[in-house]
C-alpha cells in the first residue's frame, strides 16, 4: 500500500481574503471561536472553526489598521489601531456596537501592541519627541456584561538605562503581530522594544525594570525582533528584516531561563518571521512570516519548515489546534499538521521522492 501525502492541508479550514486585506491581530477564545483584526478597519469573528467569518468591524473606522485584538469570549473584545494616531475600542455585544476606550491623536503617536491579563490591560507605543517610549496600564477592565472606560493609572517614561542605552525619538516597537508585550504575572510583564537599533528584552514589575538584555539580532534596516512568546521560563523571539524576507541569518533566538540569557537558534527558521507561539506544554513551537512557517520541538533551538503557504503574519495555539492568519486564515489540528510534515520528510528522503511502501 502506498501512502499518499495530502497535497493541501488546509481543506475545509482555509479562508482566503480578497481585496489585498491583511490581518495582524488574532485572539482565540475556544476550540471553534476566534477573532482577527487588520487593515481597512476590518474585524472578523468565527464560531465554527473558520468555515465562516462574520464581519463585525466598527463603523466610521475604515481607515484604521487594527493590528492587535484581545477577545474574552464570542461577545467581548478590545481592538487597537496602529499608525498615525491610535484608537482603542471595545465591544460587549459581539461587534454590534463599539465604544472608545482610548485615543491618542498627537502627531507621531503610534500604538504597537497590548496584552490583557484578567482585568488588567498593558499597552506599548513608540516614543515621540514630547514623550519617550511609553507603556500604559489599566486596572479597570471588567469581565462581565460590559466594560468601563479605560483609565490610565501609570505612564512610565523609560528615559535611560543603567548600561548606557538611552531611548531617543527613534525608540519604538514593531507593530507586526501584537506580540512584543506579554503579561507574566499580576504586575510583572515582558516587552521587546527597539532602542538605538538594538532589540532589547525587558522584564519589569509595575514601573520598575527587573532586568534587560540585548537580543542577538543584527542591526539592519527594519531589522530586529518583531515578536516573542514566553512559556514559563522558556521563550522564543523572532524577526529579521521586513525588507529581506528570505534572509535566514539572525531571525530567531531562544531562552531557557526567563529571558536572562538569549541564544541564536542553531537552525534558523526559513526567513523573516513576525509571529511565534507555543502550545501550553511548550513542547511545540510555531513561527510564521511572509514566505512560510516553521516548527520546533526542542524549545526553539532548531526549526524545520512547516509549510510554504505565503502571506501569514500571526499564529496562536489553543488546545489541539493551530490558528494562523494574514492574507488568509486557517485552523489546523496539530497532530494532523505534524503528521503531514513527518510524511513529507519521509518522501523527501526517499529515492526520487517515491513514497515508501507500508
- Give pLDDT tens digits for 290-330: 999 999 999 999 999 987 778 899 999 999 999 999 998 88
Confidence of residue 348 (pLDDT cuts 50, 70, 90): very low
Q: What percent of the chain shows pLDDT beyond 90? A: 54
- Give pLDDT tens digits for 210-263: 888 999 999 888 899 999 999 999 999 999 998 999 999 999 999 999 999 999
- Give pLDDT tens digits for 96-119: 999 988 888 877 788 899 999 887
Least confident interval from 138-142, 152-156, 329-333? 152-156
pLDDT at residue 277, rounded to an integer = 97
Cβ contact 5:340 at 8 Å: yes
Question: Strands 77-82 and 86-91, how do they pair?
Answer: antiparallel
Q: In what order do the strands lie in the sheet with 43-46?
A: 23-28, 34-38, 43-46, 54-55
Q: What is the CA radius of gyration of the chain?
A: 20
pLDDT at residue 118, rounded to an integer = 83
- Give pLDDT tens digits for 167-187: 443 578 898 899 999 999 888
> Which of the residue ranges 25-39, 91-105, 194-208 has the most confident prediction, judged by mean pLDDT?
25-39
pLDDT at residue 204, rounded to an integer = 84
pLDDT at residue 199, rounded to an integer = 93
pLDDT at residue 274, rounded to an integer = 96
- The residue with cell 548606557 is 164
Q: What is the mean pLDDT of the chain?
A: 81
- The residue with cell 506599548 is 124
Which distant-in-sequence residues (6+ apart) come within 8 Å of 295 by Cβ? 284, 285, 286, 287, 303, 304, 306, 337, 338, 341
pLDDT at residue 19, rounded to an integer = 56
pLDDT of 41 higher than 80: yes
pTM (predicted TM-score): 0.85
pLDDT at residue 128, rounded to an integer = 67
Amino acid at each position: 500500500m502506498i501512502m499518499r501525502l495530502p497535497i493541501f492541508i488546509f481543506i475545509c479550514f482555509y479562508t482566503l481574503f480578497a481585496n489585498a486585506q491583511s490581518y495582524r491581530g488574532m485572539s482565540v477564545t475556544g476550540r471553534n471561536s476566534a477573532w482577527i483584526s487588520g487593515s481597512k478597519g476590518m474585524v472578523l469573528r468565527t464560531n465554527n472553526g473558520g468555515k465562516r467569518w462574520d464581519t463585525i468591524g466598527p463603523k466610521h473606522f475604515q481607515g484604521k489598521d487594527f493590528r492587535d485584538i484581545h477577545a474574552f469570549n464570542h461577545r467581548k473584545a478590545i481592538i487597537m489601531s496602529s499608525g498615525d494616531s491610535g484608537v482603542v475600542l471595545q465591544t460587549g455585544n459581539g461587534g454590534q456596537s463599539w465604544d472608545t476606550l482610548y485615543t491618542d491623536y498627537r502627531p507621531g503617536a503610534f500604538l504597537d501592541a497590548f496584552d490583557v491579563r484578567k482585568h488588567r490591560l498593558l499597552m506599548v507605543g513608540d516614543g515621540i519627541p514630547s514623550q519617550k517610549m511609553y507603556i500604559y496600564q489599566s486596572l479597570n477592565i471588567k469581565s462581565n456584561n460590559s466594560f468601563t472606560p479605560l483609565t490610565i493609572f501609570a505612564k512610565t517614561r523609560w528615559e535611560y538605562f543603567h548600561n548606557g542605552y538611552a531611548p531617543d525619538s527613534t525608540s519604538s516597537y514593531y507593530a507586526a503581530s501584537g506580540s512584543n508585550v506579554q503579561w507574566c504575572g499580576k504586575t510583572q510583564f515582558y516587552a521587546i522594544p527597539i532602542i538605538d537599533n538594538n532589540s532589547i528584552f525587558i522584564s519589569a514589575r509595575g514601573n520598575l525594570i527587573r532586568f534587560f538584555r540585548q537580543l542577538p539580532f543584527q542591526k539592519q534596516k527594519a531589522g530586529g525582533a518583531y515578536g516573542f512568546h514566553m512559556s514559563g521560563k522558556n521563550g522564543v523571539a523572532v524577526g529579521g528584516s521586513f525588507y529581506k524576507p528570505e534572509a535566514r541569518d539572525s531571525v530567531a533566538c531562544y531562552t531557557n531561563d526567563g529571558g536572562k540569557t538569549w541564544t541564536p537558534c542553531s537552525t534558523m527558521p526559513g526567513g523573516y518571521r513576525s509571529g511565534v507561539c507555543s502550545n501550553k506544554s511548550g513542547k511545540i513551537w510555531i513561527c510564521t512570516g511572509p514566505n512560510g512557517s516553521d516548527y520546533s520541538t526542542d524549545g526553539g533551538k532548531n526549526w524545520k519548515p512547516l509549510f510554504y503557504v505565503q502571506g501569514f503574519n500571526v499564529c496562536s495555539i489553543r488546545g489541539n489546534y493551530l490558528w494562523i492568519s494574514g492574507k488568509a486564515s486557517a485552523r489546523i489540528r496539530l497532530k494532523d499538521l505534524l503528521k503531514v510534515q513527518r510524511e513529507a520528510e519521509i518522501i523527501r528522503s526517499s529515492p526520487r521522492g517515491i513514497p515508501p511502501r507500508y
